[in-house]
Structure 1
Amino acid sequence: MSSASTTALPYRRLVVVDSYSIVAEGIASLVGEHFEHVSVATTAQSLRADLSLGAEALVLADLYVAGTSCVSLMREMLTKGTNAAFVFLPAEATAAVAAQAMEAGAKAFLHRRCPVQELERAIAAVQTGYTYVAASLIATREDLARQRPSLTTKQQLVLKLVAGGRSAPDIAEALHLSLRTVESHKRAIMRQLGVQSVAAMLDVAKNEGLLDSS
């Protein structure tokens, strides 16, 4: 995709989202020439500020920024009518996560380990009205069922109580556990879901249907 070819394309702004500015700036340097304006966002607030400018933007994002789910941010922005196309480029992801992001409104999803040429193909696809998912992240229904996180009964109880706004001491008392055990369960759930914060844990758990009444 040459820079000249973007003049008639819908997304002339690029916003690269990553918790580490050096990473975001590096990614921007690889594909920024295809856009008229390039910016970097390292927090949810800075992304919101960038997208509030009004011009249509292509957002190239990790799955999380400063502990916040970028899929949730995408939903928020799209619900508000923001003219943005989200392309996810995480270091690690499963086919199930890719499917959830695409279902939520993403335009493309690929690994950060991909060659620059593949990233450019994904961007070109989005610019011309198509979606793009890396071949390794395309899953069948059976694949998705196998990849669904499996929590123990106790972890499910802890998760639902956290989602209900209960504090760790409250959960410990309700389940007759020590506070240390409750925190250990929370850390185990976050590892299982591949997240690093309680907010991200709850967001992924909701997407996975783990908070549905049984």
Structure 2
Amino acid sequence: MSDASDIKILLVDDHPLVRDGLRARLEAAPRLRVVGEAGSGEEAIAQAGACRPDLVLMDVNMKGGSGIEATARLLEHYPDILVLVLSMHDKPEYVAQAMAAGARGYVLKDAPGKDIVLAIDTVMGGGIYYSAALARQLANPAPQDTLLTLREQEVLRHIADGQSNKQIARALDLSVRTVETHRLNIKRKLGIEGQAELIRFAVQRAENGGYP
């Protein structure tokens, strides 16, 4: 039996075994009731319309597409539903993207069961929740300077000056291929996707006096 005080939850994960484990963990807690499951973003939107959950527990990486994209789309259709991301990824960029999409919290999959219940209660109460490990990481981010070698910092400084790979190669007495490799390594270390984002980062860092 359930009553009006139950928190209705929709589980979204492309692994049935993971959903089974989550269902068992959640339904062992008072007032939590799993009313639906979905294995993709498309299914999540359809299920949200069918079972009208109070909260969606959303995975990030699924075969059918990103849970972050699914979060944004789901909230376009059902803005009153709360989304709590449950993921194995602890990179700050994933957290930032999830929150920008409208999620109200981010919990790591290896968190204790009581943390997931606490996260649900916090979000349902109007708050924002991060797993403890994430909260510490967000409060004390690793200095990005420590991720890059001195040569990579030099390349980044030239990128900030608007120089091409050919110009950077000439200035640093390197091959163009080596400069391209440095660019790729910089983007990988900083979690940057495109060239425009790399240039923006390089310029911002230059403005802050962050080059050797």
TM-score, L = length of structure 1: 0.61
Q: 2:98 pairs with 83, 101, 109, which one?
A: 101
Number of equivalent positions: 167
Corresponding residue SS for 1:14: strand
Gaps of 5+ in 2: 157-183, 204-212
C-alpha deviations, 1:123-178, integer Å up to 9, x for none? 1111211111122112458727739x99999xxxxxxxxxxxxxxxxxxxxxxxxx
Please say if 1:31 is aligned against 2:29.
no
Larger Rg: 2
Structure 1 unaligned spans of 5+: 154-184, 194-203
**2:23, 2:74 → 1: CA distance?**
21
**SS of the counterpart of 1:16?**
strand
Q: Is the 2:10–2:35 contact (alpha carbons within 8 Å) kept by the matching residues of 1? A: yes
Structure 1 counterpart of 2:129: 132
Are the aligned partners of 1:32 and 1:38 in contact in 2 as well (CA < 8 Å)? no
How big is the shift at 1:79?
2.4
- What is the Cα-based RMSD across aligned positions, in Å? 3.9
Deviation at 1:190, TM superposition (A): 9.0
Cα shift readout 1:40-68 (whole Å, capped 9, x = no counterpart)? 11122211111122624311121122151
Q: How many Å separate the matches in 1 of 2:42 and 2:188?
A: 24
**Would the aligned equivalents of 1:14 and 1:32 in 2 still touch at CA under 8 Å?**
no
Tell me, yes or no, if structure 1 residue 143 matches structure 2 residue 141. Answer: yes
For residues 51-91 of structure 1, what are the alpha-carbon distances to aligned partners after superposition, in whole Å with 9 as ceiling and x for unaligned? 12262431112112215111111111222344321111112
**Could you state the TM-score of these two structures normalised by the residue count of structure 2?**
0.61
- Cα 1:136/1:68, change in 2 over 3 Å: same
Match of 2:47 in 1: 50
Flag the 1:211–1:72 CA change in 2: closer, same or farther, 3 A: farther
Higher RCO (CA-CA < 8 Å; seq separation 6+): 1
Q: Within 2, Cα distance between the matches of 1:82 and 1:25?
A: 27
Q: In 2, distance between residues paired with 1:116 and 1:20?
A: 18
Matches of 2:81 and 2:5, distance apart in 1: 16
**Correspondence for 1:181:** none
Matches of 1:212 and 1:85 in 2, distance apart? 35
Quote the offset at 1:205 in angstroms.
4.1
- Say if 2:16 is the partner of 1:18: no
Identity of aligned residues (%): 19
Please give the alpha-carbon distance, in whole angstroms, between the structure 2 residues aligned to 1:106 and 1:144: 24
Alignment match of 1:73 (pick from 70, 74, 80): 70
Measured at CA, do residues 55 and 38 of structure 1 come closer, stay the same or move farther in structure 2, by a change above 3 Å? closer
Conserved? CA contact 1:16–1:60, under 8 Å? yes
Give the alignment of 1:57-206 within 5 angstroms. 57-138=54-135, 139-140=137-138, 143=141, 146=144, 205=193
CA shift at 1:92, angstroms? 2.5
Aligned residue identity for 2:144: R
Distance between the aligned counterparts of 1:22 and 1:77, measured in 2? 24
CA distance in 2, matches of 1:46, 1:122: 24
